[in-house]
Amino acid sequence: MKRSLLAATLGALALACGSTSLPPENTGTIPFEPHRPTPSGSTTVTPYTGSNADVLLAQLTYPTGLDVHRKLVMRTCSGTNGVCHNQKEYPDLHTPATFVAAIGAPCNVQSGNASGVFDRCERLGDRFRFAEQEFREIEIGWFELVRGETPELDPKGTRPDEGTAGLHLYLHDPVPVDQDRINVTGTFIRNFIDDRGNVQTLAFASYKTNWWVLGDKRHLFAEVNENQRDSVEGLVASGIVQGDQNRNGTYGARVLGNTVPLINPGKPEASYLVARLRGFMGADTVPGTRMPLANQPPNVPDMLALMCFIQGLDPTAAQWNLESAIDYNTCTYSENPEALSLAGSGDTWSGRVLPLLQSNCGGCHGGSNPQAGLDVLSGTPHEVYQRLVLKPSSQDATRNLIQPGSLEKSYLYLKLTGDGSVSGSRMPINPLNGNASLPDADIKSIENWIFLAGAVEN
């Protein structure tokens, strides 16, 4: 398409040069048709011509998926080197090609810690069996390699426990083996799809060692000998697919039956990327801090562009073209884009939350001797922010005063609602009757800021 456009332009140029019939001078307007070249692969869509300003702005700012990547994804996430998703962390979204590769790709593949994994990102786990024993392969829930030297173990003496150095496997079903310890070959099995599209079963690793059958027989422990250490490290590095990656007992792919990808073509609400921006998917809370962590969260036109882009992706397509125009006219979210607002209405740190805290709490939580060591008054807004967000409460060291994205882990918030799990009084204490609370609207603002806006400093 590009090439033919160029050829046509050159042709026209040649024609113009060779032509003797130039337009006569001073005869009025020069015929000018502002034909902007259509990018290759673009499908023609009927533009949105309604009156909603957010839709019009989204359509203007983000005509194509390429714009969504360049102006939204790059800005909120991958742009700043090292902040997130710039090669360091899966998903890498920093080029248009990697962004396209996120369509249909699994989520939480490389999550920093188990508890950050969303059940619906879990895939069917790899399977395990003992080569010499007759039982069906059992799905692996999760594994842990405890590094170090495996101590001398003995069924009648020192037995392994959860912390013993070696490879621990936690399986979906108990192993039907009677012995406590058997010296057999343990085999790891995976299904894969071959070139012809057939499902093949592959035993991708096996270890002959002492296998201990612990607890309810779903916990296996493998002694790792000196000469096996490298191959076990290799196995762990190459990845075992864990059916219960977040170790919460729910095997997401089995129980929920519908594992979601990073970007789910046609289904923005069932796309993990969107869920991480919103903090929820359907009725489920998505674990982990709301994205973006350190940048301005997307506004309504931004979110609309992302939702309409994903909704417009054909789930049956073999590949996707970011240059295709986003169809805002038929996009269902164009009907009420305001519902996509992540931040509620103006519940920002500097605009609302800080003034609220300072006027209602500063009398006691400020000055030379702030109550409970909490000072919301002195210093710059940034310094106050830094004293609250991700800083442990003095009354409960297990919780932070503000935990972005989580109300139940934000101790300061729970002090405002009079939650039963906090110590001391409900805040703010009214010095006259010792008993008061903030108006609902104010609590709601703080809630929106922590939960919907991810407690960003804006």
Of the candidate spans 55-63, 64-72, 152-160, 420-428, the one that interacts with ligand HEC by CB under 6 A turns out to be 420-428
Contact pick of 96, 174, 363, 381 for ligand HEC (by CB under 6 A) = 363
- Nearest approach, Cβ of residue 356 and ligand HEC (Å): 7
Residue closer to ligand HEC, measured from CB, 274 or 455: 455
Q: Is 282 left (phi over 0), alpha (psi -120 to 50) or beta?
A: left
Of the candidate spans 149-157, 263-271, 315-323, 408-416, the one that interacts with ligand HEC by CB under 6 A turns out to be 408-416
- Nearest approach, Cβ of residue 377 and ligand HEC (Å): 11
Q: Is 386 in the site for ligand HEC (CB under 6 A)?
A: no
Of the candidate spans 96-104, 133-141, 252-260, 388-396, the one that interacts with ligand HEC by CB under 6 A turns out to be 388-396
d(CA 32, CA 274): 43
HEC profile of the chain: CHHHHHHHHHHHHHHHHHCCCCCCCCCCCCCCCCCCCCCCCCCCCCCCCCCCHHHHHHHHHCCEHHHHHHHHHHHHHHCCCCCCCCCCCCCCCCCHHHHHHCECCECCCCCCCHHHCCHHHCCCCCEEEECCCCCCCEEEEEEEEECCCCCCCCCCCCCCCCCCCEEEEEECCCCCCCCCEEEEEEEEEEEEECCCCCEEEEEEEEEEEEEEEECCCCEEEECCCHHHHHHHHHHHHHCCCCCCCCCCCCCHHHHCCCCCECECCCCHHHCHHHHHHHCEECCEECCCCCCCCCCCCCCHHHHHHHHHHHHCCCCCCCCCCCCCECCCCCCHHHHCHHHHCCCCCCCCHHHHHHHHHHHHHCCCCCCCCCHHHCCCCCCCHHHHHHHHECCECCCCCCCECEECCECCCEHHHHHHHCCCCCCCCCCCCCCCCCCCCCCHHHHHHHHHHHHHCCCCCC
Of the candidate spans 25-33, 147-155, 185-193, 353-361, the one that interacts with ligand HEC by CB under 6 A turns out to be 353-361
Contact pick of 166, 428, 451, 455 for ligand HEC (by CB under 6 A) = 428
Residue closer to ligand HEC, measured from CB, 121 or 389: 389
Strands 138-146 and 166-171: antiparallel
- Nearest approach, Cβ of residue 412 and ligand HEC (Å): 4
Two tokens, residue 197: 């599209």
- Nearest approach, Cβ of residue 431 and ligand HEC (Å): 5
d(CA 405, CA 279): 7
The site for ligand HEC, by CB under 6 A, has a size of: 24
Residue closer to ligand HEC, measured from CB, 278 or 365: 365
Contact pick of 52, 311, 360, 400 for ligand HEC (by CB under 6 A) = 360
Q: Is 65 in the site for ligand HEC (CB under 6 A)?
A: no
Contact pick of 74, 145, 374, 455 for ligand HEC (by CB under 6 A) = 374
Residue closer to ligand HEC, measured from CB, 283 or 397: 397
Of the candidate spans 141-149, 185-193, 254-262, 409-417, the one that interacts with ligand HEC by CB under 6 A turns out to be 409-417
Q: Is 402 in the site for ligand HEC (CB under 6 A)?
A: no
Alpha-carbon dihedral angle through residues 223, 225, 230, 232, given to the nearest 10 degrees:
-20
Of the candidate spans 29-37, 92-100, 306-314, 365-373, the one that interacts with ligand HEC by CB under 6 A turns out to be 365-373
Residue closer to ligand HEC, measured from CB, 357 or 453: 357
Q: Is 259 in the site for ligand HEC (CB under 6 A)?
A: no
Two tokens, residue 126: 């790899």
Residue closer to ligand HEC, measured from CB, 103 or 353: 353
Closest residue to ligand HEC in the complex (CB): 424
- Nearest approach, Cβ of residue 113 and ligand HEC (Å): 25
Q: Is 395 in the site for ligand HEC (CB under 6 A)?
A: yes
Hey, which residues does 410 pair with through a beta bridge? 400
Q: Is 371 in the site for ligand HEC (CB under 6 A)?
A: yes
Q: Tell me the one-letter amino acid at 264.
A: N
Q: Is 370 in the site for ligand HEC (CB under 6 A)?
A: no
Contact pick of 184, 286, 291, 361 for ligand HEC (by CB under 6 A) = 361
Q: Is 364 in the site for ligand HEC (CB under 6 A)?
A: yes
- Nearest approach, Cβ of residue 428 and ligand HEC (Å): 3
Q: Is 317 in the site for ligand HEC (CB under 6 A)?
A: no
Contacts with ligand HEC by CB under 6 A lie at 357, 360-361, 363-365, 371-372, 374, 393-395, 401, 411-412, 415-416, 424-425, 427-429, 431, 438
